[in-house]
Structure 1
Amino acid sequence: MNTFPPVVLIGAPTDIGAGHRGASMGPEALRVAGIAHALKGRGLDVIDRGNLAGPVNPWLPPRDGYRHLEEVVAWNRAVLDAVYAELEAGTLPILLGGDHCLAMGSITAVARHCRERGKKLRVLWLDAHADFNTNVITPSGNVHGMPVACLCGYGPAELTHLGGASPALQPGEIRQIGIRSVDPGEKKLVHDVGLDIYDMRYIDEIGVSRAMKEALEGVDADTHLHVSFDVDFLDPAIAPGVGTRVKGGPNYREAQLVMEMIADTGRVGSLDIVELNPAFDKRNQTAKLAVDLVESLFGKSTLMRD
């Protein structure tokens, strides 16, 4: 039985924070792959709000360690307002990215909503990267490598105070899963902050099931679960359509188990799908896979269970 509120798709067609062009085509690729139809097939009411508008990508070099900071702020403000409005209306927002810098807007909105409603927040960050760079330690200046740091209060005021209060997130509210690419300076900061990371070495050692049980520990009926799904979380052998491929990610069955175990909690309240880059894809196979996994996140199971 469907227990979810209406699901709202919000497109954010920009690659403003990325190091490669093409993530701006992600929302349309997900639509072409049938995301609305697939979710309706799960018995969900689906509303597609279309795409948000924002500045074009000027494709300029970094200034003070940030590329396109002004434009990144504008896009994230648009995302924040759109996601917050949906949460206030009682719907379940799904952000169709776009690059992962947009999670600053969506998660800031979710965190504000949770504070105002007195709910606990748990963020599951499914990604190959920790995204905990700052302008001082970043090797590239690309802001899609900084959203977790900014959400935890490490970054420019324009981004750390997007929603007024800073930090939007406490490190204890986030679990990072699938990590396998961390820059040297970023690694030290992550350790200093005490971020809870389930990297691929750990997952290989203890298995996906146990890792997910640990990552979901404490999630209860009073918890809003936000899933920030970077498609490069997946092994590039099955998901080539990303700008920053990192070998050694979860395979198809492991990724399905991750999504199924999240679905089992019944607490998913919002979702990002980001970093899908059709320019690097093969016949939209990565978008189709992402849709397949999102179906599992909303209850489709390959297991013979009641």
Structure 2
Amino acid sequence: HQDQAEFGSQPLPAELMAYDLHAIRRLGVEAAAQAAVGHLTRAELDGFFIHLDADCLDDAIMPAVDFRVPGGLSWDELSAALHIILASGKAVGIEVTIYNPRLDEDGSAGRGLADVVAAALGTAAPA
């Protein structure tokens, strides 16, 4: 991956599935989310944990992060991905990180993030 060459990060183990933003754009967010769910709902797994970094969002809508991503996900794309992931019924937890309220001058980024996550949780498949 480009990050490994650019930042010297360690390669991911072969059993992990990872899509960068370019791959998500190429596949489409729904197809990428469905592929991830397919990988994470294999019979040998009991479930999976969702880790959501706010800096995956486009910096035009999420300025409240220390590492901004031009061209990141939109609210609609995040919503679509979360709905697909949570509909699997196999998510055992979720954490939302990287949001920095000191960088959210009017609170709109935090409200947007909370609204998307709450709406997705409200439509999650029952356990």
Q: TM-score of the superposition, structure 2-length normalised?
A: 0.80
| Structure 1 residues 270 and 196: CA distance shift in structure 2, 3 A | same
Letter paired with 1:210 = A
Match among 200, 225, 228 for residue 21 of structure 2: 200
Q: Secondary structure at the match of 1:291?
A: helix
Cα deviation for residue 250 of structure 1 reads 0.7
Whether 2:56 is the aligned partner of 1:250: answer no
Q: Which has the higher helix share?
A: 2
Q: TM-score of the superposition, structure 1-length normalised?
A: 0.36
| Structure 1 residues 225 and 297: CA distance shift in structure 2, 3 A | farther
| Structure 1 residues 220 and 294: CA distance shift in structure 2, 3 A | farther
Cα deviation for residue 225 of structure 1 reads 2.0
2:111 match? 288
Letter paired with 1:231 = A
Q: Unmatched 5+ residue regions in structure 2?
A: none
What is the RMSD of the two structures over their aligned residues, measured on CA atoms? 2.5
1:88-127 equivalence runs, <5 A: none
Deviations 1:92-136 (A, max 9, x none): xxxxxxxxxxxxxxxxxxxxxxxxxxxxxxxxxxxxxxxxxxxxx
Please tell me whether the aligned partners of residues 243 and 275 of structure 1 are also in contact (alpha carbons under 8 angstroms): yes
Q: In structure 2, what is the Cα distance between the partners aligned to 1:294 and 1:249? A: 17
Q: Secondary structure at the match of 1:273?
A: strand
Whether 2:60 is the aligned partner of 1:237: answer yes
Letter paired with 1:212 = A
Q: Which has the larger radius of gyration?
A: 1
Q: Percent identity?
A: 26
Q: In structure 2, what is the Cα distance between the partners aligned to 1:252 and 1:225? A: 23
Please tell me whether the aligned partners of residues 79 and 117 of structure 2 are also in contact (alpha carbons under 8 angstroms): no
Q: In structure 1, what is the Cα distance between the partners aligned to 2:107 and 2:42? A: 36
Q: Which has the higher strand share?
A: 1
Cα deviation for residue 299 of structure 1 reads 3.0
- Structure with the greater relative contact order (CA < 8 A, sep ≥ 6): 1 or 2? 2
Alignment size in residue pairs: 120
Q: In structure 2, what is the Cα distance between the partners aligned to 1:220 and 1:266? A: 13
1:59-208 equivalence runs, <5 A: 183-186=6-9, 189-190=10-11, 193-194=13-14, 195-208=16-29
Cα deviation for residue 258 of structure 1 reads 0.7
Whether 2:31 is the aligned partner of 1:210: answer yes
Deviations 1:26-58 (A, max 9, x none): xxxxxxxxxxxxxxxxxxxxxxxxxxxxxxxxx
Deviations 1:51-73 (A, max 9, x none): xxxxxxxxxxxxxxxxxxxxxxx
